[in-house]
Amino acid sequence: MRSFLLIACLGFCAVGIAGCTSSSGIDGLGLDKLGPSRETTNSIPRPATPVAETAAGPGRIVTINEEVAALADAGMPPVTPSALVGAGEARAVEAVEEVALAVPQEPAMAKSPVGPVNRHRFRDAKPINFGKASPKNYAVHGVDVSRWQGDIDWQTLKSQGANFVYIKATDGGDHLDPMFRKNWREAHKAGLKRGAYHFFYWCRTAGEQADWFIRNVPRVAGALPPVIDVEYNGQSSCKRRISAEKRREKMQVFMDRLEAHYGQRPIIYTAPDFYRDNLRGHFQNYPFWLRAVAQHPSKVYPGRDFVFWQYSGSGLSQGVKGKIDLNVFNGGEAQWRAWAGGQSLMAAE
């Protein structure tokens, strides 16, 4: 519901639109040889609360109007200054003139409802015996998808126990998954909680990757926090491994940019080898999504709390042809409702 406590005049001035270049071409240039990174982190405050206490807390999405939300649900990118300005370009200037009453310090929040939890009926082409820590003992199951799942029958997939879905959106600075907009729209129509993820390229700047993600992923109420997928990619033409410190620096720049735009702290998805070499002991205040397909995450990532566990890359389900990644939420139904339902939208002014 709109609040009319403030009559504001918003003016945007954007200088230039960044052009797109080939990710594969830039990956092959070995940009890390050009010296220290010029990327610096933004000054977004970081609470001292550890992930274990914040994972179930509410997220927040910054204000958008109803027209932009409608375009987003139709698969169109939001019309915002950050969607128009590329990396390295001048930022849009927003001038707000207060005419009448002051903006309340605690704006009204529109909570996002969470539907009934569906019990999973997934199968696995390569089942693993996880013992007492079996994924079947978790209450809330979900999937992640990309172009490789083709056309999905979302209602059927939901009936099989998919309560949430993370959808592949972007790679690098100019690759958009061709199924993203359709998957984003259809998953929402089926009533699944949805989120988008970005596959990070190490030979592209973090700033241009953040701009590309923001340009293509709508900012809408109820969406799950954005995800940065960080792992080794043996198929990339970017062969030179940069230092762990520089990897973390680039991740921080990307995550800061997304947090400023979406109002939600991004989730870090990673795999065991990349975590061991680059992330162990770092990003303690960030939620993690951990891949562990042979053992429980507590054994693969000792001491690391997590929000999601990807336990299989060989899942089988009605509604999808071929294999699909299977995941669980690390908590019960009540915790899921508190966490997922807390992804809310500030009431428009």
DSSP state of 275: I
**Catalytic site residue from 89, 231, 333, 349:** 231
Q: What angle do helix axes 244-262 and 206-216 make, rounded to 10 degrees?
A: 30
Which phi-psi region, left, alpha or beta, contains residue 82 (left: φ > 0; alpha: ψ -120 to 50)?
alpha
Long-range contacts of 71-79 (CB under 8 A, 24+ apart): 71/218, 72/218, 72/219, 72/220, 73/185, 73/188, 73/218, 73/220, 74/185, 75/181, 75/182, 75/184, 75/185, 76/218, 77/215, 77/216, 77/217, 77/218, 78/218, 78/219
Specify whether 66 is catalytic: no
Between the alpha carbon of residue 7 and those of residues 3, 101, 102, 312, the distances in Å are 10, 8, 10, 51
CA-CA distance, 214 to 228, in Å (whole number)? Answer: 12
Query: What is the set of active-site residues?
Result: 231
